[in-house]
Amino acid sequence: MTTVEAAPYTVEEVCERFDPVMGLEVHVELNTATKMFCGCRNEFGAEPNTNICPVCLGLPGALPRVNARAVESAVTIGLALNCSVRERSGFARKNYFYPDMPKNFQISQYEDPIVFDGYLDVPLDDGSTWRVEIERAHMEEDTGKSLHMGGATGRIHGADYSLLDYNRAGVPLIEIVTRPIVGAGTRAPEVARAYVSALRDVVKGLGVSDVRMDQGSMRCDANVSLMPKGSSTFGTRTETKNVNSLRSVERAVRYEMGRQAGVLLSGGTVRQETRHFDEQSGTTSPGRAKETLADYRYFPEPDLVPIEPSAEWVEGLRKELPERPWERRARIQSDWGLSDEELRDLVNADALDLVAATVDAGASSESARSWWVSYLAQQANTQGVALTELAITPEQVARVIALVSEGTLTNKLARQVVDGVLAGEGSPDDVVAGRGLAVVSDDSALTAAVDEALAAQPAVAEKIRAGKTKAAGAIVGAVMKATRGQADAARVNELVLERVGASS
């Protein structure tokens, strides 16, 4: 059965009649060495079913054992999201049958998540911030992965059978749940994207997860509903599952807003259901209808005892928190004297960390910024890679800048040095030596070249002597050509004027 859905409205049209409400659930896979409840390795891309043991395979008799580092990471994430840490929290079993879950229950947390009641101030494109309130973040275990065989599509529907790999089963997950995000209006899709992006940055900065949406180590489910303008009663929501890129988060929310408005404005009702986002078309399609709310029969996990983080331990973790990305940005903006726009350009170009590292390696912020956002950005663009993937390190860029400021290189030469580094010719100093690129700063050599050029162009020399100092450009040009650009043009200019006896 196919349902033809009403053509989506634009968010502007939607917001003339409705206020959107969003709830975002983000699952972050921790990068611990081992799984949440057993000593199997937590690694992406291993041979199927090679990281399995009685515990994560749910064999009869096996018992879970909590990974201390996962608990620490959960608390760290909570602190970074301004959450409170629960004095006593525990695990619970969430019961449902599904073949990718070996025990047919997931060990999770229910009434007493380890951290709760926080917020994240999310930077938006226009430089303003949006505070997203965090309801809770809790620990749980991931499921295995299934491969659907037979049938035409390789998808779950129409498959003949499935093959299961339990390497991922039991990998530690932190599920971060927002409170309903209300009042964003037409900016709702942007807020959703910006939130997931900011969350990714924060978690990445903590070093507790790879937060790779493309590899599934960060996954987002987006709940969207509409309420008539002026109402404060939430409408029926849909949950769009596993939206796997920042762009998709924004598109999925936008599409759902438009689609739901279409349903409502044509007199229909929105069904509470799970939906799937299709990257190709940018649309969502219905999954399983949630006619009856799933009854997970939660109860306290009898095999695990409560966790009571001591205040000292929590404070210790709080002290070790890295500077939050937005605080760091504010500090950098004032240290470097950047305008809001300059800072935003830097962030949008994904160059902030690179520039900062270049500055840390001794460069001035102006030159570091200028290199990364112009010449290096162009090279990345030409090569079709991300700025961060260019084959040059911030330290190497800082070295190039130093060579320029000490006069060894001109800007033009410096670009050639960078080209050499990018081409794999070694460090900046290697390239300078290898290509013989150092500036000719020996005055006697330059003087000879100047004299030669003046002799070759007596008419120009005469003009200069007559006070038309601008004519010196032609002589400088000739000298630069003769030295293959390895002379300092300013110094050459001085020498020209000196030799013709003109005073500058």
**Looking only at residues 11 through 40 of this chain, which bind Zn ion when binding is defined by CB under 5 A?**
38, 40
**Minimal distance, residue 114 CB to Zn ion, in Å:** 22
User: Which positions from 46 through 105 interact with Zn ion, judged by CB under 5 A?
Assistant: 53, 55-56
**Minimal distance, residue 302 CB to another protein, in Å:** 4
Query: 218-228 and 18-29: which strand pairing?
Result: antiparallel
Q: Which is nearer to Mg ion, 175 or 190 (CB)?
A: 175
Judged by beta carbon distances under 5 to 8 A according to partner kind, the member of Mg ion, Zn ion, another protein, none in contact with residue 175 is Mg ion
Work out which of 20, 78, 102, 113 binds another protein, going by CB under 8 A. Answer: 102
Q: Is 150 left (phi over 0), alpha (psi -120 to 50) or beta?
A: left
Are the C-beta atoms of 398 and 368 separated by less than 8 Å? yes
User: Which positions from 114 through 173 interact with another protein, judged by CB under 8 A?
Assistant: 143, 146-149, 156, 159-166
Residue 227 phi, psi dihedral angles, 5° rounding = -125, 145
Work out which of 40, 74, 317, 413 binds another protein, going by CB under 8 A. Answer: 40
Q: Which is nearer to Zn ion, 68 or 330 (CB)?
A: 68
**Minimal distance, residue 301 CB to another protein, in Å:** 8
Per-residue mark of binding to Zn ion, 190-209 (x: CB under 5 A): --------------------
Judged by beta carbon distances under 5 to 8 A according to partner kind, the member of Zn ion, another protein, Mg ion, none in contact with residue 448 is none
Nearby residues of 388 by Cβ (< 8 Å), 6 or more positions away? 350, 353, 354
Crossing angle of the two packed helices 489-500 and 458-465, in degrees rounded to 10: 80
Q: Which is nearer to Zn ion, 48 or 485 (CB)?
A: 48
DSSP string of 123-175, one letter each residue: EPTTS-EEEEEEEEEEEEE---EEEEESTTTSSSTT-SEEEEE-SSTT-EEEE
Work out which of 93, 193, 254, 369 binds another protein, going by CB under 8 A. Answer: 93
Are the C-beta atoms of 120 and 327 separated by less than 8 Å? no
Handedness of CA 315, 319, 320, 323 (dihedral sign): positive
Instruction: Establish if 378 lies at the interface with another protein (CB under 8 A).
Output: no
Judged by beta carbon distances under 5 to 8 A according to partner kind, the member of Mg ion, another protein, Zn ion, none in contact with residue 489 is none
CA distances from 398 to 361, 366, 374 (A): 6, 12, 15
Q: Which is nearer to Mg ion, 169 or 332 (CB)?
A: 169
Query: 84-85 and 218-228: which strand pairing?
Result: unpaired
Judged by beta carbon distances under 5 to 8 A according to partner kind, the member of another protein, Mg ion, Zn ion, none in contact with residue 481 is none
DSSP summary character for residue 89: B
The residue to which tokens 């940005």 are assigned: 329
Are the C-beta atoms of 108 and 140 separated by less than 8 Å? yes
DSSP summary character for residue 3: -
Give the separation between CA 129 and CA 121, rounded to whole angstroms: 6
**Minimal distance, residue 12 CB to another protein, in Å:** 33
Per-residue mark of binding to Mg ion, 124-163 (x: CB under 5 A): ----------------------------------------
Number of residues that bind Zn ion (CB under 5 A): 5
CA distances from 379 to 350, 372, 414 (A): 14, 10, 14
Give the separation between CA 233 and CA 222, rounded to whole angstroms: 19
Instruction: Establish if 274 lies at the interface with another protein (CB under 8 A).
Output: yes
The residue to which tokens 């998808």 are assigned: 155
Q: Which is nearer to Mg ion, 177 or 361 (CB)?
A: 177
User: Which positions from 59 through 88 interact with another protein, judged by CB under 8 A?
Assistant: 59-71, 88
Give the separation between CA 168 and CA 366, rounded to whole angstroms: 46
Q: Which is nearer to Zn ion, 38 or 114 (CB)?
A: 38
Work out which of 165, 175, 190, 250 binds Mg ion, going by CB under 5 A. Answer: 175
Instruction: Establish if 221 lies at the interface with Mg ion (CB under 5 A).
Output: no
Residues within the interface to Zn ion (CB under 5 A): 38, 40, 53, 55-56
| Interacting residues with Mg ion (CB under 5 A) | 175
